[in-house]
Amino acid sequence: MTKRNPHMARLSANYLFPEINLRKRQFLAQHPEVHLISLGIGDTTEPIPPFITRALTEGAAKLGTREGYTGYGPEQGEQSLREQIASKIYQNKVPAEDIFISDGAKCDLGRVQMLFGNEASIAVQDPAYPVYIDGSIIQGIKTIVPMPCNPENNFFPCLEALSRTDLIYFCSPNNPTGVAATKTQLQQLISFAKANRSIIIFDSAYAHYIQDPSMPKSIFEIDGAQEVAIELGSFSKIAGFTGVRLGWSVVPEALKFDDGSSVKADWKRVMSTIFNGASNISQCGGQAILTETGWKEVEALTTFYMENTRLIRDTMRRLGYEVFGGENAPYLWVRFKGRHSWDVFQEFLEKFHVVTTPGIGFGPEGESFIRLTAFGHRENVLLALDRMRDGKT
């Protein structure tokens, strides 16, 4: 018989969403008349705006003509899209040559881990998007150092207490806490990485939600990042492209391994070996997003979701809840001191008929929190808040 990858057995069971669904099913079996509302969705809910949809449709139609048909694209993605990303997303602080178009940040996370092998040690924010840890475990990585992020340290890890690791995963704005790092904090992180000769894997999937102009939307806004960081970006939450699939990575020319060799050269090799390019249709959509008209459309989408966030945040604070995040991200992190997050989940389900996400699913620091998200139709958000207002004892 063929042996299983032994690292798979080290993964903790992926119980979070199956358990949420089970509890929902059990509740609905007893109360079939109830209309449950989810404030726990990590997926976009609003349609892709018309100008961008048209570009996707036209991109598909072109493939049905002899003149318009294209097959495999350039290895790093369409040059014009890379240039648009360099100018629109990075204000040319990053050259187009360092940008690689992909099928999304999650897929890039999996591939990035191949650059470093299974001897690498990693540090990860706690709580965090589970892919950083699970993806690393699948690759055989053993040393995983948590970086606790909580209200007491303003959700920024205590770097003085942190041991050296080869990689530091950092997500800002963070999923699930909804807190974004300041320029000063990212400067500290970069200095720490430089002093320790570590590489930062910076996940900027939610950067478009940053409202405060003083907050960095990219690690490359900070001097010195080019020598220590890789950034992973995504169109998923910018434009409702979670199903379309389009993202990018930035691997700077200046980034080196300890033997002086180029990380970018290896990344090119990994990408061209096990990835065959993002869909040409998605890339047409991406090009449309980054035009003036497309950008206006996605700004309106973000404004819509951030209004949801504001409504939830303000209402819940007024009701006395301890709410964090949500100023620069579509996520809210609500604390229930001394309680287990699954108990709070159950209470919201039974009392308000509202589905949330228990914080413990994102790491031990999430134990007394639940995550709420801005992704949802407005009428559902308002109805959920009405229920909390009426039902709170």
Q: Contact residues for ligand PLP (CB under 6 A)?
A: 42, 104-106, 129, 171, 175, 203, 205, 234, 236, 242, 247
Nearer to ligand PLP by Cβ, of 129 and 333: the residue is 129
Nearer to ligand PLP by Cβ, of 192 and 209: the residue is 209
Q: In the complex, what is the shortest distance from the CB of residue 358 to ligand PLP, in angstroms, rounded to a whole number? A: 16
Nearer to ligand PLP by Cβ, of 131 and 383: the residue is 131
Nearer to ligand PLP by Cβ, of 240 and 294: the residue is 240
Burial class (CB in 10 A: 0-12, 13-18, 19+), 53: middle
Number of neighbouring beta carbons within 10 Å of residue 158 = 11
Q: How far apart are the C-alpha atoms of 385 and 290, rounded to whole Å?
A: 35
Q: Say which DSSP state 231 is in.
A: E
The two structure tokens encoding residue 10? 């080290």
Nearer to ligand PLP by Cβ, of 173 and 388: the residue is 173
Q: In the complex, what is the shortest distance from the CB of residue 346 to ligand PLP, in angstroms, rounded to a whole number? A: 24
Cis bond upstream, residue 176 (ω within 30): yes
Nearer to ligand PLP by Cβ, of 247 and 286: the residue is 247
Q: In the complex, what is the shortest distance from the CB of residue 304 to ligand PLP, in angstroms, rounded to a whole number? A: 18
Q: In the complex, what is the shortest distance from the CB of residue 63 to ligand PLP, in angstroms, rounded to a whole number? A: 23
Q: In the complex, what is the shortest distance from the CB of residue 362 to ligand PLP, in angstroms, rounded to a whole number? A: 10
Nearer to ligand PLP by Cβ, of 203 and 297: the residue is 203
Number of neighbouring beta carbons within 10 Å of residue 265 = 12
Residue 381, SS3?
helix
Q: In the complex, what is the shortest distance from the CB of residue 130 to ligand PLP, in angstroms, rounded to a whole number? A: 9
The candidate with the shortest Cα–Cα distance to 389, out of 355, 338, 354, 358, is: 354
First to last CA, the chain: 59
Q: How far apart are the C-alpha atoms of 128 and 150, rounded to whole Å?
A: 12
Q: How far apart are the C-alpha atoms of 159 and 366, rounded to whole Å?
A: 20
Q: How far apart are the C-alpha atoms of 257 and 121, rounded to whole Å?
A: 14
Q: In the complex, what is the shortest distance from the CB of residue 220 to ligand PLP, in angstroms, rounded to a whole number? A: 17
The two structure tokens encoding residue 351? 């009392």
Q: How far apart are the C-alpha atoms of 313 and 303, rounded to whole Å?
A: 15
